[in-house]
Amino acid sequence: MAERFIGLMSGTSLDGVDGVVADLDAGRIAVLAHASAPFPEALRAELLALNTPGDNELHRAALAANGLAHLYADVVRQLLNDTACSPADVTAIGAHGQTIRHQPGAVDGIGYTLQLNNPALLAELCRIDVVADFRSRDVAAGGQGAPLVPAFHRAVFGQVHQTLAVLNIGGISNLSVLPADGGPVLGFDCGPGNALMDHWCRLHTGRPFDDGGRWAASGRVDPLLLARMRAEPFFAQPPPKSTGRDLFHPGWLDAVLGEAALAPVDVQATLTELTASACAHDVRLYGGDASALIVCGGGALNDHLMGRLAALLPKLTVCSSAERGLPPQQVEAAAFAWLARATLRREPGNLASVTGARGARVLGAIYPA
């Protein structure tokens, strides 16, 4: 029988929170409502700052987690309102939290991944069970802790007779390859998605992102700069691999730009081409006989980026996940609703073939209402 879950995602784009309420059973997901809330500017600035070492981090991180839980609770209230549900109708909330550091395997061989969150406060505010901290068990089992959405991609988009590739373009981009024969799913982070493009756009135009990719489309790709960007060793590293703002941050961009005196619009064009070309390269290398590339995440709304992906992958049908029944801004939130269900059922949420963990693991921690 289907049960109702809420999924909450605030990702590396740092644009805000996406939430869905969905009815889930074994092979089916029906999204009833989607809601989003932008970060208040002060919270966004603090979360961004917490991505790099700074003063009094523990205190600041704890307070930012409280702010995040309040914003999550606002989204939950909106979802309950929009669907005329009461807290008792919802089995659990899956709340991803905000990744502020991601260093699996670092230093001591185990490393860590850190998602700011206050699931106890969220349970207190919403009176619904909360499942949180989805990544750390996979890291404890020797995995990357990311990406986690490939299992969900398989559940909602997988086909018996057709190999498919699914590309999420959030702040960071990640690819899932779903083989037709039900064989092991491949999945890994490709590199930057929108994070560097957003940073550059905000810096030079004051706008939070390049709507439709129109600014980038009016510029010229600089081949030398693109080659310097593509020389980043992460791109050539074989999976399992994951990344984040720990690597692809404004300092990385400043270093590759060096003394280059390029017009800002041409840098934007080149950053967009970096995302498109790195993802397309990975689809060619790892996509097997995939006939279609399903794109989700906010990047699917960037028409110029979608056009570049289609041009670089002429043998594949490149389409938005909306054409396969799930709008691009809902996919990750729906994935964390689905992962919360798996946790409650004590079913594994990770795919060892993706993260490199020693095996399948039940993910997350449960905070009762």
Ligand X SMILES: Nc1ncnc2c1ncn2[C@@H]1O[C@H](COP(=O)(O)OP(=O)(O)OP(=O)(O)O)[C@@H](O)[C@H]1O
Q: Which residues bind ligand X (CB under 6 A)?
A: 9, 11-13, 15, 18, 168, 170-172, 193-194, 198, 209-213, 297-299, 301-302, 329, 332
Does 170 bind ligand AH0 (CB under 6 A)? Our answer is yes
Does 163 bind ligand AH0 (CB under 6 A)? Our answer is no
**CB nearer ligand AH0, residue 219 or residue 298:** 298
x/- letters, 339..358, toward ligand AH0 (CB under 6 A): --------------------
- Binding region for ligand AH0 (CB under 6 A) out of 144-152, 281-289, 305-313, 342-350: 144-152
Nearest distance from C-beta of residue 81 to ligand X, angstroms: 22
Please state the three-class secondary structure of the chain as a single string: CCEEEEEEECCCCCCEEEEEEEEEECCEEEEEEEEEEECCHHHHHHHHHCCCCCCCHHHHHHHHHHHHHHHHHHHHHHHHHHHCCCHHHCCEEEECCEEEEEEECCCCCCEEEEEECCHHHHHHHHCCCEEECCCHHHHHCCCCCCCCHHHHHHHHHCCCCCCEEEEEECCEEEEEEECCCCCCCEEEEEEECCHHHHHHHHHHHCCCCCHHHHHHHCCCCCHHHHHHHHCCHHHHCCCCCCCCCCCCCHHHHHHHHCCCCCCHHHHHHHHHHHHHHHHHHHHHHHCCCCCEEEEECHHHHCHHHHHHHHHHCCCCEEEEHHHHCCCHHHHHHHHHHHHHHHHHCCCCCCCHHHHCCCCCCCCCEEECC
**CB nearer ligand X, residue 129 or residue 229:** 229
Does 99 bind ligand AH0 (CB under 6 A)? Our answer is yes
Nearest distance from C-beta of residue 133 to ligand AH0, angstroms: 12
Does 298 bind ligand AH0 (CB under 6 A)? Our answer is no
Nearest distance from C-beta of residue 246 to ligand AH0, angstroms: 9
Does 332 bind ligand AH0 (CB under 6 A)? Our answer is yes
- Binding region for ligand AH0 (CB under 6 A) out of 23-31, 82-90, 170-178, 225-233: 170-178
**CB nearer ligand AH0, residue 192 or residue 287:** 192
Residues that bind ligand AH0 (CB under 6 A): 11-12, 99, 102, 113, 146-149, 168, 170-172, 174, 189, 242, 244, 332
